[in-house]
Structure 1
Amino acid sequence: MTVTADRTVPDPTRTVPLPLREQADVRDRWLTQRLLDVLPGLMDRAGIDLWVVVGREYNEDPVLQTLLPATWLSARRRTILLFHRSDDGVTAAAVSRYPVGQFMPAWEADEQPGRTNEESQWAAVRRFVDQAAPRTIGIDVSATFAHADGLSHTEHDLLVAALGPHAEKLVSAEAVAIGWLETRLPEEIAAMHAMNRLVHQVIDEAYSPAVITVGQTTAADVAWWIRQRFADLGVDGWFQPTVGLQRAGSPLAEVRGTAVPSVPWDAVIEPGDLVHCDVGLSTLGLTTDTQRNGYVLRPGETAPPAGLVAALAVGNRMQDVTTAALQPGRTGDQVLAAARTAAAAEGIDGDVYSHPVGVHGHGAGPAIGMWDQQDGVPGAGSAEVRTDTVWALELCVRVPVPEWGGQLVRMALEQGIALTDRGVEYLDARQTELILIPSS
């Protein structure tokens, strides 16, 4: 890989979203820095000398998409990337029909007359491996993480055939793939601050008279407005936004052992409703995942009922005990157990189902519970928490509201946080007050 001098690029922490050309500059700069500064340590930690990432157009390995230049919106034909760890760092080579950014070209398609392109391409892989003489060769196969299981059956068979005796060195590159996907540069974390700030601004706008006409607008209307607003701003939603309502007289319903709001998803928003949204955007190759709550003031009200204010405070406390438990070296299951134990000691009735967020919304790395798995998550729950990662701190609490006749409210929160060697920091800011929505 040849590293070229950076040209002046915009600061994504100040302007999100950036124009597409400027986004490409930022993403390519990050890719170069990650290959130089992040990948060598990941390969050393995993004990892998050579990492092979293979994908074909329309069937890309999830990791491959994060290794390509920003102008490559997908693999082209068959794209093979080889990363060799040596004393000099990592040599990044491409066995591809077309040049791949700053990757060292390791194949000329017409260099072997009489062979098909496929035969010639795999022969180039074999030559590279022969010269590198690795002790271990990592490939993207994993029974635990879909993110690290991107090598298709066909490509696996072709790779094994091409490697010959080297095939005995094949091992899972799960640790490298997950580390690559979950580790964030300081510049990426700074950009995710700005991305979360944008999400919060869009939610504030959605929870306003500019969007909600109480008594007419439905929860579904608001969800579609948020998605359209993202598109208008030049960012993508990585899932369909959801907006839900809770109200006095409509108690939580039991669904598959979990208490959930019972108000229909397309109900009209009325005075006294608790409004909840779940939204996520994508830009710069990164994602967010956010939930926030608003209250529709009744005529004459200037503040929410004290019981709802208290419920949000309990949710904030659940965030506190979870972030206190989020310590590097612990597994996701250990963090979950510590958080739930601390919450129970304070009489908090709640669930934790937090997850990494970064390249993917439900990102690579340890799972800290799932909404339906509060005793631990097989496989993903045993992965270790590491620094320089970003999380969606996702959880809920159930609290009786006196003003609603003691009816339980499910206060669900989701907030981006970064875990660095300085500890946990909230991306932009967490919600500590209900957003007030006037009814007239």
Structure 2
Amino acid sequence: MFFCLQIVLAFALLSVVSWAQFHPSEPAKYQRLPSLRDQARILDEWKDERVARIPQLLERYGVDAWLMSQREHAEDPIWWSIKNATDFAAHRRTVVLFLANPLPQQTNPVVWVDNTGKVWGELLDILEASDPQKIVLNVDHNIAFSGGLHVGEFEVLQAELGSKWKERFVNQPMIGIEYVATRVRSQLEYYRMLQETTWAMIAEAFSEAVIKPEITTTENHPRVSVVTPESFPGWQGTQDVIQEGDILHVDYGITAMGMNTDVQHMAYVLRAGETDAPQGLKDGIRKANRMQDIILSEMRAGRSGNAVLQGSLAQMKVEGLEGQIYCHPIGDYGHAPGAVMGSPAGFTNLPVNVPVLGDLPLLPETYYSIELYAYSFVPERNETLRFRLEENAYWVDEERGWEFVYGRQEMLHLVGKTPPSLLLQN
């Protein structure tokens, strides 16, 4: 009885708290972004603020320099996060050197765009003058954002700089991870606009304005699926003609202003005479919402992704919830660098412990996709379904941790009800 009471209280509390904390007060609207010229200015301001933190980042990890070398069409992943907004590629050979303690009057970073070999003499002069003892190269074996130095460029660096500097090359994967993952506060306003636009697009797609039962199909790129007990299409959607009574799912995001969203929502296609979804489907969404609450309560800066995952699974067991968690960082990339909680999205074969990426610490000032599914029995259909949700969260502060950027889905989109309702169901 006490256990049942715990569950009832948990869902009751969710009903009271979620409206104010998690749910937008109005339906999502498409947001107009600044002009491309203004976007470039804003992006460069963000880049300058992020780059200015690098000397402190190097000092925190006990290194003196960070050296990158790349060629056009073979850029290091880091390059896309340090370039100017109007740069579209690393021209010729682009070499970038950051120093923890630059010499007086020296730019930091020093950037060369070169196709003559002149860069190597100038780079050697700076190294001799500043004498860094540890020079980070992006050569990590396990993490893409810390292993982006191509083999050819690595061999050129060794040949051109010689054995003295080769012996000072080190691998410190957290430099690249933390640089790319860390957000600046002024990004949040625009990221919230992207998130609302993502919601608005899904709401329009999952409405009678678009979907005509027995005519409209799920066959398209953004992974739209008809949900069945067997369906878990992963990277693919399904190829179904949508019918009344179908449950729909989409995994979708947009890219703009150097940022990415990643959202999963579900919808129900009303049958003739219906005005609402069956209660069993509402209960499934609420279970997935409860899983979201548990994950956010377990997320703390400095804690490993695996620790968050295992703490969440333990609480789910206490509350009798079944499902799977596969959260990931998001930001400059849809799947950004940093700690994952559960097997990386799309590969759910490591549900309890993820080597390497799961052992990384959660970093403050980062964004996360809270991605999961809850199993729930739907008595009206006599079947158990996966209720798959995903929303993006941002770091608030040490006390509050992460909260949703725009909100979260707390009810099914209803196809056949005008306007598409996004209000919390009781």
* Common topology (TM > 0.5): yes
Q: Tell me the equivalent position of 1:391.
A: 368
Instruction: Name the SS for the 1:143 alignment partner.
Output: coil
Instruction: Name the SS for the 1:91 alignment partner.
Output: coil
Aligned ranges for residues 17-416 of structure 1 at < 5 Å? Answer: 17-36=33-52, 38-86=53-101, 91-97=108-114, 117-118=116-117, 120-164=118-162, 165-220=164-219, 223=220, 240-246=221-227, 250-252=228-230, 265-370=238-343, 371-405=348-382, 407-416=383-392
Q: For the Cα contact (< 8 Å) 2:139–2:148, is it kept in 1?
A: yes
Instruction: Name the SS for the 2:100 alignment partner.
Output: strand
Query: Post-superposition shift, 1:56?
Result: 0.3
Q: Which runs of 5+ in 2 are unaligned?
A: 1-29, 419-426
Q: For the Cα contact (< 8 Å) 1:83–1:90, is it kept in 2?
A: no
Q: For the Cα contact (< 8 Å) 1:289–1:361, is it kept in 2?
A: yes
Q: For the Cα contact (< 8 Å) 1:298–1:439, is it kept in 2?
A: no
Deviates more, 1:165-174 or 1:54-63: 165-174
**In the superposition, relative to structure 1, how do residues 157 and 416 fare at CA in structure 2: closer, same or farther (>3 Å)?**
same
1:434 matched to 2:412:
yes
What amino acid maps onto 2:40 in structure 1? Answer: A
Q: For the Cα contact (< 8 Å) 1:54–1:64, is it kept in 2?
A: no
- 1:30-86 CA distance string (max 9 Å, x none): 1111112x3233212221211111110000001012111111111000000111111
Q: Tell me the equivalent position of 1:104.
A: none
Distance 1:127 1:264 in 2: 55
Query: Post-superposition shift, 1:130?
Result: 1.2
Distance 1:47 1:301 in 2: 64
Distance 2:175 2:237 in 1: 44
TM-score where L is the length of structure 2: 0.85
Distance 2:88 2:178 in 1: 23
Instruction: Name the SS for the 1:86 alignment partner.
Output: coil
What amino acid maps onto 2:393 in structure 1? Answer: I
2:394 to 405, 408, 418: 418
Distance 1:15 1:129 in 2: 48
Query: Post-superposition shift, 1:425?
Result: 1.4
Q: Tell me the equivalent position of 2:21.
A: none
Q: For the Cα contact (< 8 Å) 2:251–2:264, is it kept in 1?
A: yes
- 1:189-230 CA distance string (max 9 Å, x none): 23211111110010011111221111100012xx4xxxxxxx
Distance 2:233 2:69 in 1: 42
Distance 1:266 1:51 in 2: 48
Name the structure, 1 or 2, with higher relative contact order (CA <8 Å, separation 6+): 2
Deviates more, 1:190-199 or 1:304-313: 190-199
**In the superposition, relative to structure 1, how do residues 367 and 93 fare at CA in structure 2: closer, same or farther (>3 Å)?**
same
Q: For the Cα contact (< 8 Å) 2:65–2:132, is it kept in 1?
A: yes
Q: For the Cα contact (< 8 Å) 1:83–1:91, is it kept in 2?
A: yes
What amino acid maps onto 1:35 in structure 2? Answer: V
Q: For the Cα contact (< 8 Å) 2:207–2:417, is it kept in 1?
A: no
Deviates more, 1:176-185 or 1:128-137: 128-137
Distance 1:73 1:300 in 2: 54
Q: For the Cα contact (< 8 Å) 1:245–1:276, is it kept in 2?
A: yes
Instruction: Name the SS for the 2:186 alignment partner.
Output: helix
- 1:320-361 CA distance string (max 9 Å, x none): 111111111110110110011111111111100000000110
Instruction: Name the SS for the 2:293 alignment partner.
Output: helix
Q: Which runs of 5+ in 1 are unaligned?
A: 1-13, 98-108, 110-116, 224-239, 254-258
Q: For the Cα contact (< 8 Å) 1:243–1:278, is it kept in 2?
A: yes
**In the superposition, relative to structure 1, how do residues 264 and 288 fare at CA in structure 2: closer, same or farther (>3 Å)?**
closer
Distance 2:309 2:253 in 1: 23
Q: For the Cα contact (< 8 Å) 1:295–1:437, is it kept in 2?
A: yes
Instruction: Name the SS for the 1:219 alignment partner.
Output: coil
Instruction: Name the SS for the 1:300 alignment partner.
Output: coil
